[in-house]
Structure 1
């Protein structure tokens, strides 16, 4: 799957959780990604994060970093 599509999907997920009352929104994004994304999608997102993570909103980036275990 292209990085552009993964970024768009991650941003959409983050947009949803932004509107929720949970205090740990990045944790909710990460939990969703780990529950519903295939391991290879998470691996591709890890590559995208390592390359700079262009296009991700701040919440999407924080959730993706938690989901893939990255701190880039």
Structure 2
């Protein structure tokens, strides 16, 4: 998935949770990504965010601490 599309999807989740009570917003973003994004998407999210959080909504950046970072898969062969 392109980095722009992944940023867009993460930001869309943040937009949805913006209507929730403030204390539930970041938790909701992290919970949604943990439940519905496969490990490859979460890996890519962290690869992008570790380089720069530019383009991510602040709620997504705040949620990164609660999103499960997948363990790197061992190289085949």
TM-score (normalised: structure 2):
0.80
Instruction: Provide structure 2 residue ranges, at least 5 long, that are not aligned to the other structure.
Output: 70-77
Structure 1 ranges of 4+ moved more than 2 A: none
- Given the alignment of the two structures, is residue 4 of structure 1 paired with residue 4 of structure 2, yes or no? yes
Secondary structure (helix, strand or coil) at the match of 2:23 reads coil
- Partner residue in 2 for 1:61: 61
Instruction: Provide structure 1 residue ranges, at least 5 long, that are not aligned to the other structure.
Output: none
- What is the alpha-carbon distance in structure 2 between the residues aligned to residue 67 and residue 14 of structure 1? 13
TM-score (normalised: structure 1):
0.85
CA RMSD of aligned residues (A): 1.5
Structure with the greater alpha carbon radius of gyration: 2
1:16-45 deviation line (CA, Å, top 9, x unaligned): 001113623111100000000010000000
